[in-house]
Structures are given as C-alpha cells and as structure tokens.
C-alpha cells in the first residue's frame, strides 16, 4: 500500500470516528451547587445552570403587599433554618410583584446568614421534576424550587407530575426542597377546563376534585390584588428615593398618574416601567 493510500485511509477513519462520536450521547455536565446562589434548570441536559447576575429588586421596594410579603419571608426563613415550612402558591393580579417577591425573599434569607439556593424551573419542564428532585435530595444544600407563571391548558396532563412531586409518591418531597410558584389562576387550571370535566365526567364531583386538588398541595395561598392609587404612588416614591431621581414632587405625581391612565392599570410593574422612562428622560442611570 502506497503512502498516499495510507493517508486517504487515515482521513476516512478520522471522519468515521468523528461521525460516531457525534452520534454518542453527550455527557451531562455536573452541577456544582457551590458555584452560585441561583440556578436555572436545563431539563434536556439534566443540569442546573448557575446564574451569576440575578434580576431582582430590593424587598423594601415591593410595596402594597406588606401582609403577604411578611408571610412569605417568614416561611422562607423557617425553611432556611431547617424548620417546617409550606409550599407556596402566589396568585392573583398581574404585575404586583409575585416573582419579584420570591427572589427578594430568597435574597433576604441569604443576607441573614441562612444559606439557601434558588432554582428556577420553566413551566414546560414540569415533567422533568422527578429527575430534578433526585438531583436535589442528595445535595447538602436547601433549595427553593421556583416556577414562574405556572398554569395548565385543557389538554395538558403534566400537572400530575407536579402533584406527585409536591407531596405524592412513596418518597414524597425531599426535606431539603420547597416549591414556590406564581400564577394568575388560584387553581392553576382554566375555568372552562374544570367546567368541561364537570359536564362530561361520570362522577362530576370526583373529576373536579382531581383537577383542583393540585392547588391544595400548596400549604400557603398568597393572594395579590390590584393596588390603590395611594399604593401605586408609594411605589413610585420608593423607587425615586432609592435611585436618587431629581424631580419636583408635584410633577412626579402628575406624570405618574398620567402614565397609569395611559396604561389602563396600576401595579408594581407599571410603576417600574414609569421609573425606567423617567430616569431615561432625566438622563440618570438606575444603578442598584
């Protein structure tokens, strides 16, 4: 065999080896829970991705929800201390700080010297909860598992995986894991889905119980409702003081109310959007 033939053969073998290597399943990266305080669950890779810069606001800036704020922080602190605590469903009006409050409560626990890890799992990855729970139960840390904007559609059966992960199954929920979820729906399922079950089932009451029992797995239901004008303006004032924005008080009030009127609602999200617009017009940065 000539040298040229050997080179051609080696080149073909190299291409064959590369092709076989691409067909082989990728090795899942190892999760290092000491790498960060917050993570995002990658269901496909079976890996919790560390988040270096977490998007959140200081808990003192979350206004108009004082009662539910105190309940959530207390529940989080107890869990971080190794005491009994409940899964929490934060439900209600959009834009009132449900997800912001979860992240702020987690930060408060860490600042108080009670280390706690926050892991966000996306709604579409709920079916991978058993895999994630298996990863967390052998870890040395305590975890708040966070699912934002949780809800289920008519033909969605993944809610059954969530029910089992919360309290069901032989093993139950690991003692070092608690679940916080936000939703616009108190029962997580659309009303027409529940009504359809009631009208088509052989035993309507049992069918409805099967659907709404999901929200019962959350020991705490924290309701968020639309804020008043005074609460909205209090949010605006809090942001202005926190970021040191320079504007006349009467002008601030007038512009803030006009902004809410054009948006057709008052909420923490609307207040924050106004502050971003105001800071941009004033030429000031919103540095934490």
Length of the chain in residues, anyone?
288
What pLDDT, in 10s, does the model give residues 54-90?
Answer: 888 889 889 889 999 999 999 999 999 999 999 999 9
> For residue 163, which of 126, 206, 122 has the smallest C-alpha distance?
126
What pLDDT does 239 receive? 94
Percent of the chain with pLDDT over 90: 49
What pLDDT, in 10s, does the model give residues 144-175?
Answer: 999 998 877 666 666 666 777 776 566 667 88
Number of neighbouring beta carbons within 10 Å of residue 86: 17
Instruction: Band the pLDDT of 11: cuts 50, 70, 90.
Output: confident
DSSP state of 145: E
What are the CB-based long-range contacts (under 8 Å, 24+) for 80-86? 80/109, 80/112, 80/114, 80/115, 80/116, 80/142, 81/114, 82/142, 85/178, 86/178, 86/218, 86/219, 86/220
DSSP state of 149: S
- pLDDT of 182 strictly over 70: yes
What pLDDT does 189 receive? 63
Strands 117-120 and 143-147: parallel
Instruction: Band the pLDDT of 176: cuts 50, 70, 90.
Output: very high
Q: Hey, what are 246's tokens?
A: 């320079």
Considering the four listed CATH numbers 3.40.470.10, 3.40.50.300, 3.20.140.10, 2.40.128.690, the one that applies to the domain covering 38-224 is: 3.40.50.300
Widest pairwise Cα distance in the chain:
92
What pLDDT does 154 receive? 62
Q: What is the C-alpha to C-alpha distance for residues 18 and 23, in angstroms, rounded to an integer?
A: 9
Number of neighbouring beta carbons within 10 Å of residue 103: 22
- Category of 36 on φ-ψ map: left (φ > 0), alpha (ψ -120 to 50) or beta: beta
DSSP state of 43: T
Instruction: Band the pLDDT of 95: cuts 50, 70, 90.
Output: confident
Q: What is the C-alpha to C-alpha distance for residues 207 and 214, in angstroms, rounded to an integer?
A: 12
**Edge-to-edge strand order for the sheet containing 38-42?**
47-51, 38-42, 117-120, 143-147, 177-183, 88-92, 220-224
Task: For residue 33, give the 3-state DSSP assignment.
Answer: coil
More confident residue, 35 or 7: 35
What pLDDT does 185 receive? 76
What pLDDT does 28 receive? 62
What pLDDT, in 10s, does the model give residues 201-254?
Answer: 444 555 455 556 677 788 899 999 889 999 999 999 999 999 999 999 999 999
> For residue 130, which of 177, 74, 86, 185 has the smallest C-alpha distance?
177
Q: Which residue has the tokens 């108080």?
A: 112
Mean pLDDT of the chain: 84
What pLDDT does 216 receive? 76
């Amino acid at each position: 065999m000539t040298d040229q033939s050997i080179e051609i053969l080696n080149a073909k073998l190299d291409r064959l080896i590369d092709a076989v290597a691409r067909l082989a399943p990728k090795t899942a990266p190892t999760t290092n829970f000491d790498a960060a305080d917050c993570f995002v669950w990658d269901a496909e890779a079976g890996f919790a991705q560390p988040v270096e810069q977490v998007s959140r606001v200081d808990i003192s800036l979350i206004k108009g929800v004082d009662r539910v704020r105190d309940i959530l922080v207390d529940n989080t602190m107890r869990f971080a201390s190794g005491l009994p605590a409940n899964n929490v469903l934060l439900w209600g009006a959009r834009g009132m700080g449900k997800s912001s409050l979860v992240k702020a409560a987690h930060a408060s626990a860490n600042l108080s010297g009670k280390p706690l890890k926050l892991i966000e799992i996306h709604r579409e990855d709920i079916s991978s909860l058993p895999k994630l729970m298996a990863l967390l139960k052998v870890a040395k840390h305590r975890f708040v598992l966070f699912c934002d904007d949780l809800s289920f559609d008519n033909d969605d059966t993944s809610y059954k995986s969530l029910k089992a992960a919360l309290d069901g199954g032989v093993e139950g929920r690991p003692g070092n894991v608690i679940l916080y979820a936000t939703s616009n729906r108190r029962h997580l399922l659309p009303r027409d889905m529940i009504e359809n079950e009631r009208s088509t089932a052989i035993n309507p009451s049992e069918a409805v119980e099967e659907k709404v029992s999901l929200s019962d797995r959350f020991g705490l239901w924290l309701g968020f409702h639309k804020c008043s004008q005074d609460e909205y303006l209090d949010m605006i004032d809090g942001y202005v003081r926190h970021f040191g924005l320079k504007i006349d008080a009467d002008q601030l009030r007038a512009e803030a109310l006009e902004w809410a009127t054009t948006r057709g609602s008052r909420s923490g999200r609307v207040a924050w959007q106004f502050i971003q617009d105001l800071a941009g017009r004033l030429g000031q940065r919103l540095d934490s």
